[in-house]
Amino acid sequence: METVSENICFGGVQGVYTHKSDACSCDMTFGLFLPEEAKDGPVPVLWYLSGLTCTHENAMTKAGAQGWAAEQGIALVFPDTSPRGEGVADDDAYDLGQGAGFYVNATQDPWAPHFRMWDYLADELPTLITRNFSVDEERQAITGHSMGGHGALTLAMGLPGRFRSVSAFAPISNPTQSDWGRKQLGAYLGNDEAKWVAHDASMLMREVGFDGPLLVDTGTADQFIDLLRPEALSEATIARRQQATLRMQPGYDHSYFFISTFMEDHVTFHAEALYSE
Protein backbone atom coordinates (compact mmCIF):
# COMPACT_ATOMS: atom_id res chain seq x y z
CA MET A 1 0.00 0.00 0.00
CA GLU A 2 1.25 3.48 -0.90
CA THR A 3 0.22 6.86 0.49
CA VAL A 4 -0.91 9.30 -2.20
CA SER A 5 -1.73 12.14 0.19
CA GLU A 6 -2.58 12.89 3.81
CA ASN A 7 -4.14 16.16 4.97
CA ILE A 8 -5.20 17.35 8.41
CA CYS A 9 -8.97 17.67 8.38
CA PHE A 10 -11.27 18.60 11.32
CA GLY A 11 -8.54 17.49 13.72
CA GLY A 12 -8.17 14.13 11.99
CA VAL A 13 -6.49 13.00 8.78
CA GLN A 14 -7.97 12.64 5.31
CA GLY A 15 -5.79 10.20 3.42
CA VAL A 16 -5.72 8.74 -0.08
CA TYR A 17 -4.02 5.40 -0.65
CA THR A 18 -3.35 2.96 -3.48
CA HIS A 19 -2.72 -0.76 -3.35
CA LYS A 20 -2.52 -3.79 -5.58
CA SER A 21 -5.88 -5.57 -5.51
CA ASP A 22 -6.01 -9.33 -5.84
CA ALA A 23 -9.80 -9.21 -6.22
CA CYS A 24 -9.73 -6.75 -9.13
CA SER A 25 -6.30 -7.68 -10.52
CA CYS A 26 -5.21 -4.06 -10.79
CA ASP A 27 -4.19 -1.10 -8.64
CA MET A 28 -7.06 0.40 -6.63
CA THR A 29 -7.34 3.75 -4.86
CA PHE A 30 -9.42 4.65 -1.80
CA GLY A 31 -9.90 7.57 0.57
CA LEU A 32 -9.95 7.18 4.35
CA PHE A 33 -10.80 9.82 6.94
CA LEU A 34 -9.61 9.04 10.46
CA PRO A 35 -10.92 11.26 13.26
CA GLU A 36 -8.62 12.46 16.04
CA GLU A 37 -9.89 9.68 18.34
CA ALA A 38 -8.17 7.09 16.14
CA LYS A 39 -4.87 8.11 17.75
CA ASP A 40 -6.09 6.48 20.98
CA GLY A 41 -7.61 3.28 19.61
CA PRO A 42 -9.90 1.76 17.00
CA VAL A 43 -12.90 3.87 15.95
CA PRO A 44 -16.14 2.82 14.26
CA VAL A 45 -16.28 3.18 10.50
CA LEU A 46 -18.86 4.32 7.95
CA TRP A 47 -18.43 3.15 4.35
CA TYR A 48 -19.56 5.52 1.59
CA LEU A 49 -20.13 4.01 -1.87
CA SER A 50 -20.30 6.45 -4.77
CA GLY A 51 -22.41 6.53 -7.92
CA LEU A 52 -21.94 6.27 -11.66
CA THR A 53 -18.92 8.08 -13.14
CA CYS A 54 -17.49 8.80 -9.68
CA THR A 55 -14.12 7.90 -8.19
CA HIS A 56 -13.08 7.81 -4.52
CA GLU A 57 -12.70 11.58 -4.72
CA ASN A 58 -16.24 12.85 -5.40
CA ALA A 59 -17.80 12.24 -1.99
CA MET A 60 -14.50 12.87 -0.24
CA THR A 61 -14.45 16.47 -1.52
CA LYS A 62 -18.17 17.27 -2.05
CA ALA A 63 -20.29 15.49 0.56
CA GLY A 64 -19.14 17.47 3.60
CA ALA A 65 -19.03 14.27 5.63
CA GLN A 66 -15.73 14.69 7.47
CA GLY A 67 -16.91 17.44 9.80
CA TRP A 68 -19.92 15.45 10.98
CA ALA A 69 -17.84 12.26 11.25
CA ALA A 70 -15.24 14.12 13.34
CA GLU A 71 -17.96 15.25 15.75
CA GLN A 72 -18.99 11.61 16.21
CA GLY A 73 -15.49 10.08 16.24
CA ILE A 74 -16.23 7.96 13.17
CA ALA A 75 -13.90 6.96 10.33
CA LEU A 76 -15.06 7.26 6.71
CA VAL A 77 -14.01 5.00 3.84
CA PHE A 78 -14.41 6.23 0.26
CA PRO A 79 -13.70 3.34 -2.15
CA ASP A 80 -13.53 3.69 -5.92
CA THR A 81 -16.51 2.62 -8.01
CA SER A 82 -14.71 0.15 -10.30
CA PRO A 83 -11.34 -1.24 -11.33
CA ARG A 84 -9.31 1.05 -13.57
CA GLY A 85 -6.16 1.15 -15.62
CA GLU A 86 -4.54 -0.18 -18.75
CA GLY A 87 -5.90 -3.59 -19.67
CA VAL A 88 -9.15 -3.10 -17.70
CA ALA A 89 -12.21 -3.42 -19.93
CA ASP A 90 -14.25 -0.29 -20.57
CA ASP A 91 -17.17 0.97 -22.64
CA ASP A 92 -17.90 4.22 -24.42
CA ALA A 93 -21.10 4.64 -22.40
CA TYR A 94 -20.85 6.40 -19.02
CA ASP A 95 -23.00 3.74 -17.32
CA LEU A 96 -20.95 0.64 -18.12
CA GLY A 97 -17.32 -0.27 -17.51
CA GLN A 98 -14.86 1.92 -15.64
CA GLY A 99 -16.69 4.12 -13.14
CA ALA A 100 -19.72 1.84 -13.29
CA GLY A 101 -18.81 -1.36 -11.44
CA PHE A 102 -22.29 -1.73 -9.89
CA TYR A 103 -20.73 -3.54 -6.90
CA VAL A 104 -21.04 -7.04 -8.39
CA ASN A 105 -18.65 -9.86 -9.30
CA ALA A 106 -18.80 -9.99 -13.09
CA THR A 107 -18.96 -13.43 -14.66
CA GLN A 108 -19.09 -12.39 -18.33
CA ASP A 109 -16.37 -11.36 -20.75
CA PRO A 110 -14.73 -8.89 -21.06
CA TRP A 111 -15.60 -7.84 -17.51
CA ALA A 112 -14.89 -10.97 -15.45
CA PRO A 113 -11.09 -10.64 -15.03
CA HIS A 114 -11.28 -7.29 -13.18
CA PHE A 115 -14.84 -6.33 -12.25
CA ARG A 116 -15.10 -8.08 -8.89
CA MET A 117 -16.24 -5.17 -6.76
CA TRP A 118 -18.35 -7.34 -4.44
CA ASP A 119 -15.32 -9.35 -3.33
CA TYR A 120 -13.25 -6.18 -3.14
CA LEU A 121 -15.68 -4.46 -0.77
CA ALA A 122 -16.90 -7.49 1.14
CA ASP A 123 -13.47 -8.95 1.88
CA GLU A 124 -10.29 -7.44 0.48
CA LEU A 125 -10.57 -3.73 1.30
CA PRO A 126 -12.04 -4.22 4.82
CA THR A 127 -9.20 -6.60 5.66
CA LEU A 128 -6.59 -4.19 4.32
CA ILE A 129 -8.01 -1.25 6.28
CA THR A 130 -8.44 -3.05 9.61
CA ARG A 131 -4.88 -4.39 9.39
CA ASN A 132 -3.31 -1.03 8.64
CA PHE A 133 -5.46 1.60 10.35
CA SER A 134 -7.08 2.13 13.72
CA VAL A 135 -10.66 1.14 12.85
CA ASP A 136 -13.00 -1.26 14.61
CA GLU A 137 -13.97 -4.24 12.46
CA GLU A 138 -16.97 -4.94 14.71
CA ARG A 139 -18.56 -1.48 14.47
CA GLN A 140 -19.31 -0.93 10.81
CA ALA A 141 -22.05 0.93 8.92
CA ILE A 142 -22.60 1.65 5.23
CA THR A 143 -24.17 4.31 3.03
CA GLY A 144 -24.01 5.38 -0.59
CA HIS A 145 -25.47 7.46 -3.40
CA SER A 146 -27.35 6.29 -6.51
CA MET A 147 -25.38 3.26 -7.81
CA GLY A 148 -23.57 3.42 -4.47
CA GLY A 149 -26.88 3.42 -2.63
CA HIS A 150 -27.72 0.25 -4.53
CA GLY A 151 -24.38 -1.19 -3.45
CA ALA A 152 -24.84 -0.16 0.19
CA LEU A 153 -28.28 -1.74 0.41
CA THR A 154 -27.31 -4.99 -1.32
CA LEU A 155 -24.08 -5.41 0.66
CA ALA A 156 -25.92 -4.72 3.92
CA MET A 157 -28.58 -7.32 3.19
CA GLY A 158 -26.19 -9.73 1.49
CA LEU A 159 -23.71 -9.79 4.39
CA PRO A 160 -25.88 -10.43 7.48
CA GLY A 161 -24.30 -9.20 10.69
CA ARG A 162 -21.60 -7.12 8.98
CA PHE A 163 -23.20 -3.68 9.29
CA ARG A 164 -25.08 -2.22 12.23
CA SER A 165 -26.98 0.27 10.06
CA VAL A 166 -27.49 1.15 6.40
CA SER A 167 -28.57 4.31 4.63
CA ALA A 168 -28.74 5.59 1.08
CA PHE A 169 -29.11 8.78 -0.90
CA ALA A 170 -31.31 8.34 -3.99
CA PRO A 171 -30.43 4.65 -4.41
CA ILE A 172 -31.08 2.61 -7.54
CA SER A 173 -33.66 0.59 -5.65
CA ASN A 174 -34.97 -1.91 -8.19
CA PRO A 175 -32.30 -2.40 -10.89
CA THR A 176 -33.82 -5.58 -12.33
CA GLN A 177 -36.76 -3.42 -13.46
CA SER A 178 -34.81 -0.30 -14.51
CA ASP A 179 -32.64 0.74 -17.43
CA TRP A 180 -30.11 1.60 -14.71
CA GLY A 181 -29.65 -2.04 -13.86
CA ARG A 182 -30.89 -4.34 -16.58
CA LYS A 183 -28.17 -3.17 -18.96
CA GLN A 184 -25.39 -3.54 -16.39
CA LEU A 185 -26.57 -6.74 -14.70
CA GLY A 186 -27.02 -8.36 -18.09
CA ALA A 187 -23.55 -7.29 -19.22
CA TYR A 188 -21.78 -8.29 -16.00
CA LEU A 189 -23.78 -11.35 -14.92
CA GLY A 190 -25.36 -12.69 -18.12
CA ASN A 191 -28.94 -13.13 -19.24
CA ASP A 192 -30.10 -15.45 -16.44
CA GLU A 193 -32.16 -12.97 -14.43
CA ALA A 194 -32.27 -15.33 -11.45
CA LYS A 195 -28.65 -14.35 -10.85
CA TRP A 196 -29.61 -10.70 -10.66
CA VAL A 197 -31.82 -11.03 -7.58
CA ALA A 198 -28.91 -10.83 -5.11
CA HIS A 199 -28.20 -7.34 -6.47
CA ASP A 200 -31.71 -5.88 -6.33
CA ALA A 201 -32.42 -4.08 -3.04
CA SER A 202 -36.20 -4.26 -3.39
CA MET A 203 -36.16 -7.99 -4.06
CA LEU A 204 -33.67 -8.60 -1.25
CA MET A 205 -35.84 -6.58 1.11
CA ARG A 206 -38.80 -8.85 0.40
CA GLU A 207 -36.69 -12.00 0.78
CA VAL A 208 -34.33 -11.29 3.70
CA GLY A 209 -34.58 -7.68 4.91
CA PHE A 210 -31.95 -6.06 7.11
CA ASP A 211 -31.35 -6.77 10.79
CA GLY A 212 -31.04 -3.15 11.85
CA PRO A 213 -32.18 0.41 11.08
CA LEU A 214 -32.48 1.77 7.54
CA LEU A 215 -32.61 5.40 6.34
CA VAL A 216 -33.21 6.45 2.72
CA ASP A 217 -33.54 9.97 1.30
CA THR A 218 -34.62 10.73 -2.27
CA GLY A 219 -35.43 14.13 -3.77
CA THR A 220 -38.84 14.70 -5.32
CA ALA A 221 -37.16 16.66 -8.13
CA ASP A 222 -34.53 13.98 -8.79
CA GLN A 223 -34.08 13.98 -12.55
CA PHE A 224 -33.48 10.21 -12.50
CA ILE A 225 -36.32 9.23 -10.17
CA ASP A 226 -38.01 6.93 -12.70
CA LEU A 227 -34.76 4.96 -12.97
CA LEU A 228 -34.32 4.83 -9.18
CA ARG A 229 -37.80 3.38 -8.50
CA PRO A 230 -38.05 4.41 -4.81
CA GLU A 231 -41.64 3.17 -4.72
CA ALA A 232 -40.45 -0.42 -5.21
CA LEU A 233 -38.21 -0.24 -2.14
CA SER A 234 -40.96 1.43 -0.13
CA GLU A 235 -43.47 -1.29 -0.99
CA ALA A 236 -40.96 -4.02 -0.18
CA THR A 237 -40.04 -2.38 3.13
CA ILE A 238 -43.66 -2.16 4.18
CA ALA A 239 -44.31 -5.75 3.11
CA ARG A 240 -41.31 -6.88 5.15
CA ARG A 241 -42.25 -4.61 8.09
CA GLN A 242 -38.64 -3.49 8.07
CA GLN A 243 -37.41 -0.95 10.61
CA ALA A 244 -36.90 2.01 8.30
CA THR A 245 -37.21 5.74 7.64
CA LEU A 246 -37.90 6.45 3.96
CA ARG A 247 -38.08 10.15 3.10
CA MET A 248 -38.99 12.05 -0.06
CA GLN A 249 -37.30 15.43 0.22
CA PRO A 250 -39.30 18.17 -1.57
CA GLY A 251 -37.52 19.95 -4.41
CA TYR A 252 -34.16 18.19 -4.09
CA ASP A 253 -32.40 16.67 -7.11
CA HIS A 254 -29.70 14.01 -7.60
CA SER A 255 -26.68 16.24 -6.97
CA TYR A 256 -24.15 16.59 -4.18
CA PHE A 257 -26.04 19.69 -3.04
CA PHE A 258 -28.77 17.24 -2.01
CA ILE A 259 -26.29 14.82 -0.41
CA SER A 260 -24.45 17.50 1.56
CA THR A 261 -27.75 18.90 2.85
CA PHE A 262 -28.70 15.63 4.54
CA MET A 263 -25.26 14.24 5.35
CA GLU A 264 -25.47 15.33 8.98
CA ASP A 265 -28.70 13.35 9.37
CA HIS A 266 -27.09 10.23 7.93
CA VAL A 267 -23.89 10.41 9.98
CA THR A 268 -25.91 10.99 13.16
CA PHE A 269 -28.20 8.09 12.25
CA HIS A 270 -25.21 5.77 11.88
CA ALA A 271 -23.51 7.08 15.02
CA GLU A 272 -26.53 6.06 17.10
CA ALA A 273 -26.23 2.49 15.80
CA LEU A 274 -22.43 2.34 15.96
CA TYR A 275 -22.27 3.45 19.58
CA SER A 276 -25.23 1.43 20.82
CA GLU A 277 -24.47 -1.53 23.05
Q: Which residues are known catalytic residues?
A: 146, 222, 254
Residues in the chain: 277
The C-alpha atoms of residue 179 and residue 172 are separated, in whole angstroms, by 10
Order of strands, edge to edge, in the sheet holding 26-34?
A: 2-9, 12-21, 26-34, 75-79, 43-49, 135-144, 166-169, 214-219, 244-249
Report the chain's C-alpha Rg in angstroms: 17
Q: Which residues, other chains included, contact 24 with Cβ-Cβ below 8 Å and sequence gap of 6+?
A: 83, 114, 115, 116, 117, 120
β-partners of residue 249 are 219
Q: 112: exposed, middle or buried (C-beta count within 10 Å: 0-12, 13-18, 19+)?
A: middle
The C-alpha atoms of residue 69 and residue 46 are separated, in whole angstroms, by 9
